[in-house]
């Protein structure tokens, strides 16, 4: 039978996080809280209090861009725009 940490490791690997070492470190820093570990691995703010530098998910800003405007207007990491804030969605309905 798997321990809770092993179950979280398996879950995070299945979610697409490729680096078992980074996953273990995130789980350790998050005190085995899988939600906090996901936040650490995806550069979200809950991890900022831990002094942890999240793993890179893609090229750093300004590197390898041809300047053709392909990435202009994007504010998220990894080529995806962040979802709207909750209050923006609720107010607009």
pLDDT digits (tens, 9 = 90+) for 73-83: 444 455 677 77
In this structure, are residues 45 and 39 in contact, taking their beta carbons and an 8 Å threshold? yes
Question: Would residue 62 be called left, alpha or beta, if left means φ above 0 and alpha means ψ between -120 and 50 degrees?
Answer: left
Instruction: List pLDDT tens digits, range 6-49.
Output: 999 999 999 999 999 999 999 999 999 999 999 999 987 554 44
DSSP three-state, residue 8: helix
Q: Which residue has the higher pLDDT, 1 or 70?
A: 1
pLDDT value for 16:
93
Q: What is the DSSP string of 22-44?
A: HHHHHHHHTTT-HHHHHHHHTT-
Q: Which residue has the higher pLDDT, 25 or 93?
A: 25
Q: How many CB atoms within 10 Å of residue 13?
A: 13
Sign of CA dihedral 92, 75, 26, 3: positive
Mean pLDDT of 37-64: 63
């Amino acid at each position: 039978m798997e321990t809770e940490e092993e179950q979280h490791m398996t879950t995070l690997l299945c979610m697409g996080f490729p680096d078992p070492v980074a996953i273990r470190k995130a789980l350790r820093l998050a005190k085995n809280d899988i939600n906090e570990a996901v936040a650490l691995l995806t550069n979200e703010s809950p991890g900022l209090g831990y002094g942890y530098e999240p793993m890179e998910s893609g090229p750093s800003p300004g590197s390898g861009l041809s300047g053709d405007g392909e990435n202009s207007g994007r504010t998220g990491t990894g080529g995806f725009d962040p979802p709207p804030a909750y209050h923006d969605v609720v107010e607009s309905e």
